[in-house]
Structure 1
Amino acid sequence: MILRMAKSLTMMKTCSSRCLLKHFGSLPCKLKPRQFPSRSAIGPWMLSSRHLSGNEPAKNERSGGFRMSLDVDYIQQHVLELRKYNRKGDGNLQEVETLLRRFNSASNSEKERLALELSNAALLLPNKMNPAVPIGDESQANVVGYIGEKRDFDFEPKDHVAIGEDVGIMRVRNLGHFTGHRSYYLIGEGAELEQALIRYTLDRLLKKGFRCISVPDIVNSFVFEGCGMQTSGVRTQVYHLDPRRHVDLCLAGTSEVSVAGYYMNQTLQAKDLPQRLTAISRCYRAETAHTAEAKGIYRVHQFTKVEMFAVASDEEQSDQLHHDFLAIEKELFSELGLHFRILDMPSEELGAPAYRKYDIEAWMPGRSTYGEISSTSNCTDYQSRRLNIKYLDDSSRTHFIHTVNGTACAVPRMIIAILETYQQEDGSVAIPDALQAYMKGRKVICKTGRKPMHFCRF
């Protein structure tokens, strides 16, 4: 029995390796599938119909497969576009330009060797940018508008930590010894408020035609990188599972990654586009900030988020979806009675995949500043080229689809904005009208009268 099980496992591993080779093609180097650099395992985002030596697929005698072919014209055009802008990211434009020159002047045998190196370098480059995007750092963000009014207080407003502890719905202190820093508990009405926000958001998205999708929280690293998110390096926010037991698996920091992975290697029909999905998931981020804004639950390692995601056929359709997502976010936050502003984010704050990005920042009275509660990005065909997501038009020609994403509800940030906006002088918190139906008709979160927890040192 044990021998049969061992034999079955061996066959499964062999089959898996063959599937990888069949799917991704034999790369121009002798690497076993598990030795592939994760970026080289990404779908053929730059593959063209033209192979390295003519129109017919050229056999690679050394590996028994096909040579990698790159859409060099696309890479060159992409580089020309990026020269115009100052985008923040890990890509090295000068390195890609050098590799392009070497590739274009190389013989076929040298091109085979350079193909993977050029592909890996080009994959790190950011997306193109909408010409209307402001140029510069975050100080150059364009304020599109202010929604709602700041509340006037006739008492000194407290921050969300003081409010949450006073009414007994939150714990953020003395957690480092068993959960690590940047953790929190929501208790009683605090946990109910979290669920109310989720149900409130989901109900409204479903009425607008979104389909709900439940996604995995553990995703292969090449899906992250296909989405334009780096899984290694100093700035990464990605948690990795133990590589001794799980090769290249990571915890998702947003369901955007998992939903994009759902579409990976699919060819959709033009008549089925656009498609709008919403996902509720736990998000895991290795935040490293040590600023004052990290206090409380503003910047945490684990939280719940309701995400919007859409696939579209072209730039016109994705641009319309992007504005639709922004309108939905405005509607959701306005109905909750929050004061917020909308920012058209500048070139250095877009992140690698975004062609254009809007942030929404709510006024948080206890913090005396605006804090980001949402964003929405149009990623055009940046992610689909890396994840091989296409659609078939009416003439049976294939094109890369466009992706759009947006945050409908990041629970901790929303709780901060609500607690600080709706706090009362007696220490209680009024519940926004739109959420009362989701909290059994309750209108106020009152102090419990329970004594605060007392902690002792070990």
Structure 2
Amino acid sequence: MHDIKWIRDNPEAFDRALKRRGLAGEAQRLIDLDEKRRAAITAFEQAQARRNAASKDIGEAKKAKDEARANALMAEVNDLKTKLAELEQASKDADVMLQDSLATIPNLPLDEVPDGADEHGNVEHHKFGAKRDYDFTPKQHFELGEALGMMDFELAAKLSGARFVVLKGALARMERALGQFMLDTHTTDHGYIEVNPPILVRDDAMFGTAQLPKFREDQFRAGEDFWLIPTAEVPLTNLVREAITDEAQLPMRLTACTPCFRAEAGAAGKDTRGMIRQHQFTKVELVSITTPEQAMDEHERMLASAEEVLRRLGLHYRVVTLCTGDMGFASQKTYDIEVWLPGQNMYREISSCSVCGDFQARRMNARYRPKGGNPRFVHTLNGSGVAVGRALIAVMETYQQADGSIAVPDALQPYMGGLKVIEKKQ
């Protein structure tokens, strides 16, 4: 959510930044809506003041035994009661119009974010490791999983339809192991606090992190009152909503491993085979709540924390800075980590780490109190630390062997009961 006062003071800068995101100028339209809101509030306040003054004058007129004036004033007060209700509603309606408009406008990119219309404008930041050489043609994860008898998409389709999977045996255990390994890494080595949050949240929580209203079609509704979370970013970030946190508690670093749910409304025909794009998936999320001064350093720290997971798993990846046309709605700047998948012969996103400034904090009314100062909005950051299902895919494709078995990375073996190789049971 944007600060309308800042927009009024900096309309050219606001429109210039939105243009970088491919959007036409919005400043004047928003300022006009704000003028209408301010005028409606003024009219209401003036009518309220006149009613109060007239009510006081009634008493004075009655003291002076001026019945005619008292009656005229009482008639005016009665008229004002009706008018006040109308003016109050008009001011509320004008405020809703402004807030609704502000809620649909994305965050402004930082100056260092590269310009671009889509993913082709992203800029490679750095790489880790190298592509492995195989003396056979690497298979994709679903070919490996189905041949092992541990990955079943047809059975999942009978239960739930497309974009679901049933994992069995050692692959099911490996997915669980990956989540535990990531949580242990982030809590023990990176200073994150583990949280087990609800995966059903209300409208206000989804609005706070900007899934609503713009991305309603991408979400799964659960009855009238709840939404299934698309990521643990939603409950974790909203833990500080409508609160004032002491500055000494910042930066606050939170992590969770949860099921996540996405409708994939715009993904028709994309990644229809395998586990790349599922309606239900598991993800380890990282969230940081900071002061404005801490946010950019925290962004680099969060990226390094996510990278460390892939490094310990021995996976080749690259980091790219997303351009203005490819980054998320609430983001000021985003790094994507793209892991190399030998079976697909391409890089695929496995983590996004974003700094959001006070964009989400304004939607949540989340503030902190500096020592000796007035409350200020916190800054929020979120990132995948990392997507568990995609990590499973990357491990399967990277560690596959010629006979279709899968070597278990050293980092995961303690979580797999010492198992070193996943192979088909005879």
TM range (shorter): 0.7 to 0.9
The residue aligned with 2:99 is 119
Residue identity matched to 1:121: S
- C-alpha displacement at 1:91, in angstroms? 11
Per-residue deviation, residues 1-56 of structure 1 (Å, max 9, x unmatched)? xxxxxxxxxxxxxxxxxxxxxxxxxxxxxxxxxxxxxxxxxxxx77xxxxxxxxxx
- Seen in structure 2, the aligned counterparts of structure 1 residues 140 and 77 have a Cα distance that, compared at 3 Å, is farther
Task: Tell me the number of residue pairs that the alignment of Structure 1 and Structure 2 aligns.
Answer: 375
Q: Check whether the contact 2:15–2:25 (CA below 8 A) recurs between aligned residues.
A: no
Matched, 1:228 2:162: no
Structure 1 pair 72/375, CA: closer, same or farther in 2 (3 Å)? closer
Measured in 2, the distance between the counterparts of 1:179 and 1:79 equals 49
Aligned to 1:211: 193
Structure 1 match to 2:6? 74
Q: Is the 8 A contact 2:11 2:28 kept in 1?
A: no
Match of 2:249 among 261, 272, 278: 272
Q: Could you tell me which residue of structure 1 aligns to residue 406 of structure 2?
A: 429
1:350 paired to 2:331: no
- The 3-state SS of whatever aligns with 2:337 is strand
Contact kept in structure 2, 1:90 and 1:125, CA below 8 Å? no
Partner of 2:71: none
CA gap of 1:81–1:220, structure 2 versus 1, over 3 A, is: farther
SS of corresponding position for 2:382:
strand
Runs of 4 or more off by more than 3 Å in structure 1?
77-82, 88-95, 100-107
Report whether the alignment pairs 1:132 with 2:107: no
Matched, 1:362 2:339: yes
Residues 48-447 of structure 1 mapped to structure 2, 5 A cutoff: 72-77=4-9, 80-85=12-17, 86-87=20-21, 95-100=29-34, 102-103=36-37, 108-109=42-43, 112=91, 113-136=93-116, 137-207=118-188, 208-231=190-213, 236-243=217-224, 246=225, 249-288=226-265, 289-314=267-292, 316-447=293-424
Q: Secondary structure at the match of 1:265?
A: coil
- Superposed CA deviations along residues 229-275 of structure 1, whole A, max 9, x for unmatched, are 13566x731111232xx3xx211101110112221111011111111
Q: CA deviation at 1:173?
A: 2.3
The alpha-carbon deviation at position 128 of structure 1 amounts to 1.9
Q: TM-score, normalised by structure 2?
A: 0.83
Q: How far did 1:409 drift? A: 2.1
Give 1:141 shift: 0.2
Counterpart CA distance in 2 for 1:373 and 1:89 is 28
Residue 153 of structure 1 deviates from its aligned partner by 1.3
Q: How many Å separate the matches in 1 of 2:25 and 2:202?
A: 21
Tell me the SS of whatever aligns to 1:173.
helix
Structure 1 residues 342 and 240, CA, compared in 2 at 3 Å: closer, same or farther?
A: same
Distance 2:421 2:13 in 1: 54
More moved, 383-392 vs 284-293: 284-293
Using the TM superposition, give the Cα deviation of residue 72 of structure 1 relative to its aligned residue in structure 2, in angstroms: 3.7
Deviation per residue, 1:370-409 (Å, 9 max, x gap): 1111110001111111101111111231100011111112
Greater shift, 79-88 or 113-122, is seen at 79-88
What is the CA deviation profile of residues 156-183 of structure 1, one whole-angstrom value per residue up to 9, with x for unaligned ones?
Answer: 1111001011122211125333211100
Alpha-carbon spacing, 1:396–1:365, altered in 2? closer, same or farther (3 Å): same
Deviation for aligned residue 1:291: 3.3
1:414 maps to a residue whose letter is A
Q: Distance in 1 between matches of 2:280 and 2:26?
A: 31
Unaligned runs of 5+ in 2: 44-86
Contact 1:253 1:284 in 2 (8 A): yes
Secondary structure at the aligned position of 1:405 is classed as strand
1:40 aligns to what?
none
Which amino acid in 2 is paired with 1:435? L
| Distance change in 2, residues 1:150/1:183 (3 Å) | same
User: Does the CA contact (< 8 Å) of 1:318 and 1:378 recur in 2?
Assistant: yes
Conserved? CA contact 1:91–1:126, under 8 Å: no
Q: Is the 8 A contact 2:103 2:213 kept in 1?
A: no
Q: Which amino acid aligns with 1:448?
A: K
Look at both structures and tell me which one has the larger radius of gyration over its CA atoms: 2
Question: Sequence identity, in percent?
Answer: 35
Residues 1:231 and 1:191: Cα distance change in structure 2 (over 3 Å)? farther
CA distance in 2, matches of 1:275, 1:91: 36
Question: What is the alpha-carbon distance in structure 1 between the residues aligned to residue 127 and residue 163 of structure 2?
Answer: 30
Q: SS state of the match for residue 214, structure 1? A: coil
Q: State the Cα deviation string for residues 334-354 of structure 1 (Å, max 9, x = none).
A: 111111110100111222211
Give the SS at the match of 1:177: helix
Q: Residues 309 and 128 (structure 1 numbering): CA distance in 2 closer, same or farther, change over 3 Å?
A: same
TM-score (ref. length: structure 1):
0.77
Task: State whether residues 231 and 238 of structure 1, in contact with CA within 8 Å, keep that contact through their aligned partners in structure 2.
Answer: no
1:132 alignment partner AA: E
Q: Contact 1:270–1:393 (CA<8 Å) still a contact in 2? A: yes
After superposition, the CA RMSD in angstroms is: 2.3
Structure 2: how far apart are the matches of 1:345 and 1:199?
A: 29
Change (3 A) 1:292 1:128: closer
Q: Secondary structure at the match of 2:254?
A: strand
C-alpha distance in 2 between matches for 1:350 and 1:170: 32
> What is the distance in 2 between the residues matched to 1:445 and 1:343?
32
Q: Match of 2:283, as an amino acid?
A: K
Give the residue type in structure 2 aligned to 1:151. R
